[in-house]
Chain A
Amino acid sequence: MQFFGGSDVSPSPPAPTAAGHNANVMYMFNRNGVCLFYREWNRPLRTLNPQQDHKLMFGLLFSLKSLTAKMDPTSGDKGNLGVPQLPGQGCSFHSFRTNTYKLSFMESPSGIKIILVTHPRTGDLREALKYIYSLYVEYVAKNPLYNPGTPVRCDLFDTNLDQYVRSIS
């Protein structure tokens, strides 16, 4: 993961940001790969332009999901690697951790993917992601001015999200 960290491995991870936000970056995608939402609270290193960054993130998740499902030792039916799966089918990964960050992931059966990048000592964020999904439902899905499948531009969603993210440990 060259572009997300420094060059050398440092044993101690950076402390949570001084601004009080406990998350670094958040992405939200729909099933067609459209980046519905991107928010950064703390991202010191940026190497790609936003479109490439989003595509890369989506591609990474797509491949990771496929890989983890195929490597599942408990499931019986395995198609070939690369065969598309229905969202939610099979096992799904929910986070990975490096020495500098932790990436938590949630996908709903309707294909909405929520990704949260936080500091490495963060606990299990599955409930937090579910809560963010319900925020999305309240302020975005139910918003008549929002066109489904397009990037989210809802102030209420932004403020509520900010408030919630501040409280994640």
Chain B
Amino acid sequence: MSRASGPRSGDAIFASVERVNAELFTLTYGAIVRQLLTDLEEVEEVNKQLDQMGYNIGIRLIDEFLAKSNVSRCVDFKETAEMIAKVGFKMFLGVTASVTNWDADGTCCSIVLEDNPLVDFVELPDTCQGLYYCNILSGVIRGALEMVSMKTEVTWTRDMLRGDDAFELQVKLLKQVPEEYPYKEDD
């Protein structure tokens, strides 16, 4: 009889999955953003589109995260944020992140990324001020959390491409949506 194993650490999972060349990843992402800028022209539109793409990734990514990390339901939002920073970011991007700036009722926090493989070699020109280059990440987090019944709002508070000293995401829990019985009672 196999023993049920507990949750795995981010490093362990990162070591066991197949990896892709980091430069290929960075350059592919850069090509996507470049193409979006050419197609949509408006920086705000590109931000929204990146967020939407991230959302579509997030709703699928959550299952992979749950399957590989073997974690059970988080008790509260604090644990969720720790999971995202310690296991999620490590597992998918190889990045260490930390959680800071909790507000009084535990519904809003900041995740600070120590490094960010998406932005290697990137500099924003003057024509693209206002672009959130890594906005796909905020969409991914939003999508993934929505699939575990949490409606959140994810925004960038610090962005190194805009001159700040780190990458910081603010994750705010709007509400928890428990499971409802989906069928109508009439049939």
Looking at the complex, which of B33-41, B66-74, B126-134, B166-174 is the stretch in contact with chain A? Answer: B66-74
How many of B's residues come within 8 Å of A, CB to CB?
A: 27
**Does A81 sit at the interface, judged by CB under 8 A?**
no
Give the contacting residue for A141; candidates B4, B64, B74, B181; CB below 8 A. B64
- A133 CA to B69 CA, complexed, in Å: 12
Q: Summarize A's interface: helix, strand, loop or mixed.
A: loop
B1 touches A137 (CB 8 A): no
The distance from the CB of A2 to the nearest CB of chain B, in whole angstroms, is: 20
Instruction: Indicate whether A142 reaches chain B with its CB closer than 8 angstroms.
Output: yes
Chain A contributes a number of interface residues (CB within 8 A of B) equal to 31
Contact check, B67 vs A133: say whether CB atoms are below 8 A apart.
yes
Residue of A nearest to B147 (CB): A110
User: Are A110 and B62 in contact (CB-based, < 8 A)?
Assistant: yes
Q: Which residues of B in the span 125-170 have a Cβ within 8 Å of any Cβ on A?
A: 147-149
Q: Is the CB of B59 closer than 8 A to any CB of chain A? A: yes
Q: Which of A88, A111, A133 contacts B72 (CB 8 A)?
A: A88
Interface of B is mostly: loop
Decide if A16 is an interface residue (CB 8 Å cutoff).
Answer: no
Which of A89, A124, A137 interacts with B73 by CB under 8 Å? A89
Residues in B whose Cβ lies below 8 Å from that of A148: 59-60
Instruction: Give the docked Cα–Cα distance between A130 and B72 (Å).
Output: 12
List of B residues within 8 angstroms of A62 by Cβ? 181
Say whether A112 faces chain B, with CB atoms less than 8 Å apart: yes
Q: Are A31 and B63 touching (Cβ within 8 A)?
A: no
Tell me the bound Cα distance from A164 to B64 in angstroms. Answer: 19
A108 in contact with B66 given A124-B1, A148-B60 (CB within 8 Å): yes
- When C-beta atoms are compared, the residue in chain B nearest to A127 turns out to be B2
Q: Could you mark each residue 54-79 of chain A with 1 if its beta carbon is under 8 Å from any beta carbon of chain B, else 0?
A: 01001100100000000000000000
Those 6 A-B pairs whose CB atoms lie nearest each other, nearest first = A88-B73, A33-B182, A84-B178, A134-B67, A110-B147, A141-B60
A-B contacts, 27 listed (Cβ < 8 Å): A31-B147, A32-B182, A33-B183, A58-B182, A58-B183, A59-B181, A83-B178, A84-B179, A84-B181, A86-B149, A86-B176, A86-B178, A86-B179, A87-B179, A108-B66, A108-B67, A109-B71, A110-B62, A111-B147, A111-B149, A124-B1, A126-B4, A127-B4, A130-B70, A134-B68, A137-B67, A137-B68
Known: A33-B182, A110-B148, A127-B2. 12 other contacts (CB 8 A): A31-B179, A59-B183, A83-B178, A86-B179, A87-B73, A110-B63, A110-B147, A111-B149, A134-B67, A137-B64, A137-B68, A141-B61
